[in-house]
Amino acid sequence: MIRDSVLVAVRPDSCEISSEGLITGKICFQIGERYFPEHDWNDFVMILLTSWGKALAELLDAKRTSSEFRFMDGPFLARVSATDHCSLRWIFVDARDGEKHLFSVESAMKDFATSFLKASECISQRALSDRWLSSDLNALRDSIQLLKRSVANNENMNPATNPEDK
């Protein structure tokens, strides 16, 4: 299994609010030099971060061993499973015309959680600064707090140090 960084990439400057109060913006996964589903993917950024944040917290708290991070505007998803207390295994899927596994990687849980919190906080701050107050913003802020508690409770996300490496 290839080991690589998996980060959540958002562009707060791309966010817009619809007349229905839904916030869309650029969001994707950055896997090393690759992007999934694509670099400038536009989707319901606040709803995705809320849903994915809750799922990530459940992985960190060992309430689940796997989850799916689905995009709303298209047939794309990332299947993620906790392989141990410090690693995540990812399978990136295109579900058009059946299900096609595009690629898979393993990543550090802590790096992904840190990236995820940063992205979520950036989007939350953008919504607050533009006064886009909504139940979606409240849900995202709740999700951020839940994830922060999960990260704090799982300080063991770092790989174990081998005494022979010292």
Q: What is the pLDDT of residues 105-163, one digit of tens each?
A: 999 999 999 999 999 999 999 999 999 988 999 999 999 999 999 999 887 676 554 43
Say if 72 falls within a structural domain: yes
* Separation in Å, CA 45 to CA 29, 36, 155: 12, 14, 28
For residue 142, the domain's CATH number is 3.30.2450
**Domain assignment of residue 101, given as a range:** 6-148
Rounded alpha-carbon distances, angstroms, from residue 125 to 24, 46, 131: 15, 11, 10
| Total of domains in the chain | 1
The Cα 68–Cα 97 span in angstroms is 19
Task: Tell me if the pTM is above 0.85.
Answer: yes
Residue 54: inside a domain: yes
pLDDT tens per residue, range 49-103: 999 999 999 999 999 999 999 999 889 999 999 998 789 999 999 998 889 999 9
Residue 95 lies in a domain: yes
